[in-house]
Amino acid sequence: MSSAAPLDVDLALVGGGGAASLLLAALDRHGVRDLRIAVVDPVHRRGQDRTWAFWGPPGGDLEPMLSARWDRVEVIGRSGPRVLELAPLRYAMLRSGPVYERAAEAERRLGVTRIVSPVGALDDDGHRVLVRGADNTPLVRASWALDSRPRRPDRPGRTNWLQHFRGWWVAADAPMFDPDRAVLMDFRTPQPARGLSFGYVLPVDSRYALIEYTEFSARPLADGEYDAALGAYRDLLGLDPAGFTVREVENGVIPMTDGPFRRRPSPRVVRLGTAGGATRPSTGFTFAAMHRQADQVARSLAAGGPPVPAPAYPRRHLWMDAVALRALDRGLVDGPGFFERLFDRNPAERVLRFLDGATTPAEDLAVMSSTRLVPMATAAAGDTLGRLRATRTVPPPGAGDRPPG
Ligand SMILES: Cc1cc2nc3c(=O)[nH]c(=O)nc-3n(C[C@H](O)[C@H](O)[C@H](O)COP(=O)(O)OP(=O)(O)OC[C@H]3O[C@@H](n4cnc5c(N)ncnc54)[C@H](O)[C@@H]3O)c2cc1C
C-alpha cells in the first residue's frame, strides 16, 4: 500500500465514461477555470466504444460532433411502418470517439489530473471526500466527488429488466441504405416469451449503417444468440451478407428497472450518469439526461454553486415507468402493441418529450390515456401493493452503496 498523501482537489470525477466526459466538456464550455479537478478511472476512454442515439432540438454544443441526424424516423409494427415526423426535434447519432476527444481537449484546458486506477470506497466526512483505491490506498481528497461508476440500484426493483443488444456497423460494397430512412424500432423480429424485441437501422450514408438487435427482458442472451438474431434481422431486411462487411460490433446492457438509484448517497457525493438515475426505466435511453445534467452541474459550478443536478426525471414519470414495466413484464400488455399505440395516438414529439421527462401533467395524462386502461390499472394496483410491501422491509442503511464487484 502506498503511503503517498492523497491529491487535494475541488472536484473528483470517479468514473470517466459518458457522464464524466460530457461534464468535462460542459465545464470547459462554461468557462470554469479555477477548479482543481481529478478524474479517476481504471480505463482512459478513447475511440468508438459505443454509439449514442438521442433526440433533441437541432443546434447546441453536440451538433458539430454528430455522425448523422434525421427529421423523421420509422416505427415498423406488424401492421406496417409508420413514419414519425419529429419536428421541432430530430433524432441524432453521436459516436463516442468525438465525445472522448472533446473531453480530452477540455481536460487539457482545465488542467485536470488523470489517475488511471479503480476506485474502491468513498469516505465522506461531510466536508471532504476521501477517494480510496480498490486496495484502500487514499488517492484523492476532494470537496465533492461525482461518482458515475456502474452500480446496481440501491435496492432491487419490483421489475428488473435489462435492455441488451448487439449492433453491427456494416459497410456495403454498393448503395444499400437510404440515409433519410432511419428505423427507430422494427417489431417484426420474433418476440421473446417474456419481454420484447426489436431491430433498428441507423444509416450514416447509403453504404454505411448501424444495424442492431435489441431485447427488453430479464436476462441477456448467450453470445451466439445475438449473432443469430442479428443475422435473422439482416435477412428480414433483405440485405445480402455477400454485399457488406461487418466493420465493428457493439454490445451493451443497460438497466431497465424501478429500483432506485440514489443520487446523493452522502452530503458531498453526487452520482451521475446511469448510476445517478439518468437511465429512463421504460426505454434505457440515458444520453439526453446525462447531457442535461452535465450542463446543470457546470452552470452551477461556474456560478460558485454546488455540483448537484436536478433529478433526471420527475417522480410521476418514474411511477408511470414502473407501472409500464410491470405491465410489460407480467404480460398484461403486448410489448410491440404498447409502443405502437403510444406512437399512433400521440404526436411523436409529445412521446419523445415525455420520455425526456419534459411534458406537463396534462400531456402526461394524454400519453397515459393512449395506453390500454384495464391492464395499466391492474399494473398500477400491483405496483401500489408492491410499494406497500416494500415499506415493511426497509433495507439497512448503506445497503447497495458499493458498485457491483
Ligand atoms: C454500447 C452502448 C450503447 C448505448 N447507446 C445508447 C444510446 O444510443 N442512447 C442512450 O440514451 N443511451 C445509450 N447507452 C446508455 C448510456 O448512455 C451509456 O451507458 C453511457 O455511457 C452511460 O454513461 P455513464 O457515465 O453512466 O457510464 P459509462 O460511460 O459506462 O462510464 C462509467 C465509467 O466508470 C468507470 N469505472 C468502472 N469501475 C470503476 C471503478 N471501480 N473506479 C473508477 N471508475 C470505474 C468505467 O471504466 C467507465 O469509464 C448505451 C450504452 C452502451 C453500453
Q: State whether the beta carbon of 165 lies less than 6 angstroms from ligand 1.
A: no
Residue 370 confidence (pLDDT): 77
Say how many Å lie between the CA of residue 18 and the centre of ligand 1.
5
Question: Are the CB atoms for 187 and 181 separated by under 8 Å?
Answer: no
Pocket perturbation via mutation, ligand 1, pick of 148, 251, 279 by most ligand atoms within 8 A of CB: 148
Q: Which amino acid is at 48?
A: Q
Tell which atom from ligand 1 comes closest to the C-alpha of 275: 26
177: cell is: 441504405
Instruction: Give the closest residue to 21 by CA, choosing from 60, 50, 57.
Output: 50
Q: Which amino acid is at 52?
A: W
Task: Please report which residue ranges of 285-370 form alpha helices under DSSP H.
Answer: 287-302, 315-329, 335-344, 348-355, 361-368
pLDDT above 50: residue 140: yes
DSSP state of 350: H
pLDDT in tens, 74-112: 999 988 999 999 999 999 999 999 999 999 999 999 999
Tell me the mean pLDDT in the region 127-139: 97
pLDDT above 80: residue 194: yes
Contacts (Cβ under 8 Å, ≥6 apart) of 321: 258, 280, 281, 282, 313
Say how many Å lie between the CA of residue 368 and the centre of ligand 1.
30
d(CA 141, CA 135) in angstroms, rounded, equals: 16
Query: Which residue matches cell numbers 411511477?
Result: 319
pLDDT in tens, 259-279: 999 999 999 999 999 999 999
pLDDT in tens, 290-349: 999 999 999 999 999 999 999 999 999 999 999 999 999 999 989 898 888 889 889 999
Q: State whether the beta carbon of 55 lies less than 6 angstroms from ligand 1.
A: no
Tell me the mean pLDDT in the region 44-73: 96
pLDDT in tens, 148-175: 999 999 999 999 999 999 999 999 999 9
Q: State whether the beta carbon of 197 lies less than 6 angstroms from ligand 1.
A: no
pLDDT above 50: residue 403: no
Tell me the mean pLDDT in the region 165-192: 96
Say how many Å lie between the CA of residue 334 and the centre of ligand 1.
30
Q: State whether the beta carbon of 220 lies less than 6 angstroms from ligand 1.
A: no
pLDDT in tens, 196-216: 999 999 999 999 999 999 999
pLDDT above 60: residue 402: no
Residue 3 confidence (pLDDT): 57
Q: How far is CA 62 from CA 67, 181, 292, 380, in A?
A: 10, 22, 12, 38
d(CA 112, CA 38) in angstroms, rounded, equals: 5
Which strands make up the sheet holding 68-70, listed edge to edge?
51-56, 90-95, 68-70
| Strand-pair partners of 201 | 183, 211
Instruction: Give the closest residue to 146 by CA, choosing from 127, 135, 131.
Output: 131
Pocket perturbation via mutation, ligand 1, pick of 286, 292, 352, 401 by most ligand atoms within 8 A of CB: 286
Pocket perturbation via mutation, ligand 1, pick of 40, 202, 274 by most ligand atoms within 8 A of CB: 274
Q: State whether the beta carbon of 249 lies less than 6 angstroms from ligand 1.
A: no
**Predicted confidence band at 380 (pLDDT cuts at 50, 70, 90)?**
confident
Q: State whether the beta carbon of 50 lies less than 6 angstroms from ligand 1.
A: yes
DSSP state of 207: T
Strands 72-77 and 37-40: unpaired
Say how many Å lie between the CA of residue 17 and the centre of ligand 1.
6
Q: What is the mean pLDDT of the chain?
A: 92
DSSP state of 300: H
Tell me the mean pLDDT in the region 224-250: 97
Q: State whether the beta carbon of 148 lies less than 6 angstroms from ligand 1.
A: yes
Which strands make up the sheet holding 244-257, listed edge to edge?
80-85, 72-77, 182-186, 196-205, 208-217, 160-172, 244-257
d(CA 183, CA 162) in angstroms, rounded, equals: 21
d(CA 17, CA 336) in angstroms, rounded, equals: 32
Q: State whether the beta carbon of 168 lies less than 6 angstroms from ligand 1.
A: no
Tell which atom from ligand 1 comes closest to the C-alpha of 287: 11
pLDDT above 60: residue 397: no
DSSP state of 266: B
> What DSSP element (H or E) covers 94?
strand 90-95
Share of the chain above pLDDT 90, in %: 81
Report the nearest-CA residue for atom 21 of ligand 1: 18
Query: Which residue matches cell numbers 411534458?
Result: 359
Instruction: Give the closest residue to 89 by CA, choosing from 69, 108, 61.
Output: 69
Q: How far is CA 242 from CA 142, 202, 211, 227, 382, in A?
A: 55, 20, 16, 16, 50
Q: State whether the beta carbon of 119 lies less than 6 angstroms from ligand 1.
A: yes
Instruction: Give the closest residue to 274 by CA, choosing from 19, 39, 94, 55.
Output: 19
Torsion region of 265: left, alpha or beta (phi above 0 gives left; psi -120 to 50 gives alpha): alpha
Question: Are the CB atoms for 268 and 144 separated by under 8 Å?
Answer: yes
**Predicted confidence band at 401 (pLDDT cuts at 50, 70, 90)?**
very low
pLDDT above 50: residue 119: yes
Give me Rg for the CA atoms of the chain.
Answer: 22
Residue 392 confidence (pLDDT): 64
Say how many Å lie between the CA of residue 287 and the centre of ligand 1.
10
Q: How far is CA 70 from CA 166, 180, 370, in A?
A: 22, 7, 26
Q: State whether the beta carbon of 40 lies less than 6 angstroms from ligand 1.
A: yes
